[in-house]
């Protein structure tokens, strides 16, 4: 896979799936800029990048924060070739108990945040007639999950966003695709009880939780030149839990 002289931006890169994707990009000698919302996360990113990129604090709910982040990247490295929209949050609650701020914050981060940063990155890709955008969704966006009406809505919204944007920019050498992970072995799933884990595994034909590397491998492919004829698509990385 050809990645020479590519510059990538991975949001939410301080842990989990974002970190795994960033580290895989490093292995391909891509310059990686990883973002986190807190200074502690930025330090973690800069530490594992080993000088082959930069950790930057970013609030994807704040347009000014996005502009400042992209200006710093442009000044130090140039225009972004690869954008991995990974940053996201959960604030689970049953709908009848869900507070409006829980709904708003999840939609604003997971869906509107992707809109904001993609809108600012695409002009640079248009100048180069080249770009790769990979949005990280969730199996919850397809099958739903009790207590996650906000999260599921935000991730299903990304599907329509991906389809529409891919049609807008395809003629300019920019692809826009999506990965929908199932249950992945991360901090969020490790806190589940053994009984809950067993119940989840009963729905996964491969009979294990995925690893962050499983998702990263798919992201690396979609970000590569080998995937230049793939756009507007969703790759499901869920061990067979959901099939389409």
Active site residues: 151
Judge whether 167 is annotated as a binding position. Answer: no
Q: Nearest to residue 8, comparing CAs of 56, 44, 47?
A: 56
Judge whether 93 is annotated as a binding position. Answer: no
Torsion angle (degrees, nearest 10) of CA 23, 224, 9, 129: 160
Run of H or E residues at 174: strand 174-181
Judge whether 216 is annotated as a binding position. Answer: no
Judge whether 151 is annotated as a binding position. Answer: yes
Judge whether 210 is annotated as a binding position. Answer: no
Write the DSSP string, 13-60: -SSHHHHHHHHHHHHTT-EEEEEESSHHHHHHHHHHHTTSEEEEE--T
Three-state DSSP at 210 gives strand
Judge whether 63 is annotated as a binding position. Answer: no
Judge whether 153 is annotated as a binding position. Answer: yes
Judge whether 12 is annotated as a binding position. Answer: yes
Binding residues: 12-15, 37, 86, 151-155, 184
Binding residues for NADP(+): 12-15, 37, 86, 151-155, 184
């Amino acid at each position: 896979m050809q990645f020479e002289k590519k510059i990538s931006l991975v949001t939410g890169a301080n842990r989990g799936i974002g970190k795994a994707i960033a580290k895989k990009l490093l292995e391909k000698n891509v310059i990686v800029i990883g973002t986190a919302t807190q200074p502690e996360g930025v330090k973690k990113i800069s530490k594992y990048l080993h000088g082959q990129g930069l950790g930057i604090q970013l609030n994807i709910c704040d347009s000014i924060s996005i502009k400042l982040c992209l200006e710093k990247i442009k000044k130090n490295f140039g225009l972004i070739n690869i954008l991995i929209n990974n940053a996201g949050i959960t604030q689970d609650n049953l709908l009848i108990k869900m507070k409006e701020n829980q709904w708003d914050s999840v939609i604003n981060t997971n869906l509107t945040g992707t809109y904001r940063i993609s809108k600012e990155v695409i002009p640079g890709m248009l100048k180069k007639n080249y770009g790769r955008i990979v949005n990280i969704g969730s199996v919850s966006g397809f099958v739903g999950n009790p207590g996650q009406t906000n999260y599921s809505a935000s991730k299903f919204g990304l599907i329509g966003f991906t389809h529409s944007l891919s049609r807008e920019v395809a003629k300019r050498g920019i692809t826009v695709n999506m990965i929908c992970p199932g249950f992945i072995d991360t901090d969020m799933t490790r806190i589940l009880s053994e009984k809950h884990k067993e119940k989840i595994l009963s729905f996964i034909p491969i009979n294990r939780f995925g690893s962050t590397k499983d998702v990263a491998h798919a992201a690396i492919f979609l970000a590569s030149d080998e995937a230049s004829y793939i756009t507007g698509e969703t790759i499901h990385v869920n061990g067979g839990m959901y099939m389409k």
